[in-house]
Amino acid sequence: MTDILTVTLNPALDLSTGAERVVPGLKLRCEAAEADPGGGGINVARVVAALGGSARAFVALGGPTGMRLQDALAEHRIPLVRMKAPGATRESLAVTDRGTGEQYRFVMPGPDWGEAHVAQALSAIAGAVPEGGIVVLSGSQPPGVPVEFPTRLCEALAGKGAKVIVDTSGPALAYLAAGTDPAPFVLRMDSAEAEDLAGRITTP
């Protein structure tokens, strides 16, 4: 089987809970929260495992939250290639209003990256990818990571014949969609993102 390395620069420990009602101003008494490892590349690795395959997950982790996320990945038996993040791994929170069934999702930005962290990530990923491997870069980019990061990753892996699949959003997606050299092997987007790039709708 071809080696698959997923890349998650901005992982999150996803917390989910519920409350009788979600209203402003009051203390909301919630259920015990469930914690799950989150982030685009992590989700890809979990799906590959669920389908009977194997993928390693390159993840930038930091602080106590990062340790909890690492433990959660171990429970899912996902092989981990770890990089130390420049700050604490973020958390996200989803609260379900049991009365209406509606879910409210709160997503934090993640730690700020500098150019040294970007260079470290590119070097570490390139060192972890064998000849002809598949790399799946998925999820949001942390603050400070430039929009051209996927292109720089393609450059770093060009000598290995690796196939880079990119699933991103926002400015990074717009940058890639405008055309880059080298370009990813696959640039993935959903229908709303494609319509937004075509100027037909505005993504919230």
Biggest CA–CA distance in the chain, Å, is: 57
Residue 107 belongs to a domain: no
Predicted pLDDT at 1 = 74
Domain range for 75: 4-12+39-87+112-197
Is the model's pLDDT at 11 over the cut of 50? Answer: yes
- 94-107 pLDDT, tens digit per residue, is 999 999 999 999 99
Residue 97 belongs to a domain: no
What's the domain count of the chain? 1
Residue 79 belongs to a domain: yes
One-letter amino acid identity for 125? I
Q: Which residue in the block uniquely carries the two structure tokens 């433990």?
A: 71
Residue 101 belongs to a domain: no
- Quick one: 17 exposed, middle or buried, by C-beta within 10 A (0-12, 13-18, 19+)? middle
One-letter amino acid identity for 29? R
Residue 30 belongs to a domain: no
Q: Is-above-0.85 flag for pTM? A: yes
Residue 121 and residue 85 in contact, taking contact as beta carbons nearer than 8 Å = no
SS3 assignment, position 6: strand
Predicted pLDDT at 203 = 47
Residue 18 belongs to a domain: no
CA-to-CA distance for 149 and 143, rounded, in angstroms?
12
Tell me the CATH number at 58. Answer: 3.40.1190.20
Residue 66 and residue 85 in contact, taking contact as beta carbons nearer than 8 Å = yes
Residue 105 belongs to a domain: no
Phi, psi of 163, deg, nearest 5: -100, 120
Residue 160 belongs to a domain: yes
